[in-house]
Amino acid sequence: MKDLRTLAFSLLLLIGIILPENKTDTKLIFIYNSKSGFINEITDLAHKMISPETYPCDLYALTYDTFAMKHEWSNYIDHLPMKTVFMYKDKLTENVMKNMELPAAFLLKNDSLINVLSEKEFNSIDDLEGLISKIDQILEEHSVKNEMNDGKLYLSKEEWEKRLNKEQYHILREKGTERAFSGKFDKFFDIGTYVCAGCGTELFTSETKYNSGCGWPAFYESLSGTIEETSDHSVGMTRTEITCKKCDGHLGHVFNDGPRPTGLRYCVNSASLEFEQIEKEQ
């Protein structure tokens, strides 16, 4: 208990929340100890990209800009209902940390420090979805509900593997790409709605689908508010990746070479979609 009190006071000083006007703040604090292992790597990524004020790093964009989980992880952290701080152990004295197993996560409410994720719990997690799911669960247990998730679906790696077949998992969760002209919806033009194969969110309608000749299903417009766009610098070029807003599943990319009225071409993997038929009226 004494160690936690000492650590709490040190953290208050370090992150600058000891001032009276900030006494009601709640903070989620990650402390990590090295750059080996999944948890330390993903924490280090967040530390340098999302919370640079605690660890200045001018070169983070060069190092991490193509990191596959960057968008999903930073988007989640940005939408937590409290300030999130990441610290490397060199910010704390050896005296404070001598009995502390790292990595660890703490919830700081006023001047009370609650250990919400231990080193053992952290290291039992080996994928981003599992980490997000665990953080949400623990915050709810401490009456800190993430109201800003907006219906986001976060599942563990094992849960996604049960929900999706191998091809769907590779494309939606690992940002894979199916071979051109091999997808079931490339030359498919029935009337209906295309939904995310991961979560069932409606994404496109058959009215906006057209034959682009590119080898993948193409649409000139998506349904409003269902898709998120992110810069993708993989494969030696800059493209705009499109993902499902609800589950962050990778769909494909959008290009500025489509037909009127939008001039856009949403180039989508068939395996990331399911189709809901609209029955013709008799």
Query: Which residues are annotated as catalytic?
Result: 267
The single-letter DSSP state of residue 171 is: H
> Rounded distance, CA 58 to CA 60, Å?
6
Cα separations in angstroms, 242 against 36, 82, 119, 251, 279: 31, 28, 35, 6, 29
In sequence order, the β-bridge partners of residue 134 are none
Write the Ramachandran bin of 26: left for phi over 0, alpha for psi from -120 to 50, otherwise beta.
beta
CA distances from 2 to 16, 58, 96, 100, 136 (A): 21, 37, 10, 12, 28
- Residue corresponding to tokens 């999944």: 38
Closest by Cα among 152, 273, 153 to 218: 273
SS3 234: helix
Name the one residue in this structure whose structure tokens are 């077949």: 165
The candidate with the shortest Cα–Cα distance to 246, out of 220, 268, 272, 270, is: 272
Contacts of 39 (CB under 8 A, 6+ apart): 32, 103, 122, 123, 125, 131
Residue 242, helix vs strand vs coil: strand
